[in-house]
Amino acid sequence: MTRRGMLTGLLLIVLCAAPSAAQEIKLASVAPEASPWGQALNRMASEWSRISNGRVRVRIYHNSIAGEEADVIRKMRIGQLQAAVLTSAGMKNVVPEVFSVSVPFMISSEEELEYVMERIEPQLNEEFERNRLHVLAWSHAGWIHFFSKQPVTYPDDLKRQRLAANPNDQELQQAFRIMGYRPIPMPQPDLLTSLNSGMVDAFYTSPLVAAGFQWFALAPNMLDLKVAPFLGAIVITDAAWRRVPDAIKDELLRSADVVANQIDDQIRDLEREALVMMRRHGLSVQELSPEVHELWRADVEQHSQAIQEVFDAEMTARIQRILAEYQSR
């Protein structure tokens, strides 16, 4: 063998023996790093590095540093980001069927939500894969409630108030209009000013968000009625997932699922703590009798067909069949 041939052979041996460069996965999240989502994602990043022996490294951009959810999805499409935490509002831009879970007043308990998700998750996962994304894990991120300046007991109490609505939740806005409410598109940063000026009188969000942004101080009445569940999911692009070694994919998925379950537990605990704190600082929670609950249900029921057409009709109808099955057990 020539000297050049020997050197070439040695170089090939060295290159083959050398560890391949680590795969970096840039993951975006709108949640603050100190939140349950932020802390859990940091744990997942550490676990993925351990499981892959450093071959897969997750860099997390917390607190909307990478932009709002629409920006994040666009950046994933062009390869600037490889993964993200998305809420229902963001996921619907990829898979519209997801938002059917958020039809107002359709799902009303954790038990119902779990029963529904167990049955529709496979279909939703397939839809994400058709859009070149993989769902690593689903999470339940709390429940939406109404907060208002004046106490609300009956549907007509809320219909008289101007309801701040997320501009990105077009379906929810339309559903509320169908039911006779007065939704006003209101960007989140403008809510406190708008409550203070009288532009709006009420809003909907989770207790955790209302406490975190101190919005309840200007709308100190919460209706003890679950409007809709708040979903979250960790997703990764198809291109990035294909680069992950097949031998460790199952273990990485289990790690992400553990993280999602931890988030579920933490958020339930933190929502309870948030309600205790808000009550201590003046929040009044209006609890409803079974009779008044039935009035709310009947008020929604008369518009159910029109509301169903606002969301993905096929998925909404499927969820309603699943709920009927659950309630008849």
pLDDT by residue (tens digit) across 161-186? 999 998 878 888 999 999 999 999 98
In three state form, how does the secondary structure of 248-267 look? HHHHHHHHHHHHHHHHHHHH
Amino acid residing at 78: I
The residue length of the chain stands at: 329
For the cut 80, the answer to whether the pLDDT of residue 80 exceeds it is yes
pLDDT at position 118 is 95
Task: State how far Cα 10 lies from the chain centre.
Answer: 52
Q: Is 91 strand, coil or helix?
A: helix
User: Comparing C-alpha atoms, which of 257, 303, 262 is closest to residue 106?
Assistant: 303
pLDDT band, residue 7 (cuts 50/70/90): very low
Structure tokens at 76: 């994933």
User: Going by C-beta distance under 8 Å and a sequence separation of 6 or more, which residues neighbour residue 117?
Assistant: 101, 138, 140
| Cα distance between the two ends of the chain | 78
Task: State how far Cα 134 lies from the chain centre.
Answer: 15
User: Comparing C-alpha atoms, which of 91, 82, 29 is closest to residue 57?
Assistant: 82
Using an 8 Å Cβ cutoff, are 79 and 136 in contact? no
Q: How far apart are CA 82 and CA 176, in angstroms?
A: 35
Question: Distances in Å between the alpha carbon of 92 and those of 127, 163, 233, 326?
Answer: 11, 22, 12, 25
Tally: H helices and E strands in the chain: 14, 10
Give 188-194's long-range contacts (Cβ < 8 A, gap of 24+): 188/213, 191/164, 191/215, 192/218, 194/164
Find where tokens 């994602």 sit.
41
Q: How many CA atoms lie within 13 A of 179 on its CB side?
A: 28
For the cut 90, the answer to whether the pLDDT of residue 13 exceeds it is no
Mean pLDDT of 141-155: 93
Mean pLDDT of 138-163: 93
Lowest mean pLDDT among 63-67, 138-142, 220-224, 231-235: 138-142
For the cut 60, the answer to whether the pLDDT of residue 11 exceeds it is no
- Average of per-residue pLDDT values in the chain: 89
Amino acid residing at 127: E
pLDDT band, residue 15 (cuts 50/70/90): very low
Mean pLDDT of 18-38: 80
pLDDT by residue (tens digit) across 212-222? 889 999 999 99
Task: State how far Cα 257 lies from the chain centre.
Answer: 15
The whole model's pTM is what?
Answer: 0.83
Structure tokens at 160: 């008289």
CATH top-level class for 19-327?
A: alpha beta
Where do the domains of the chain lie?
19-327
User: Comparing C-alpha atoms, which of 277, 259, 270, 274 is closest to residue 37?
Assistant: 259
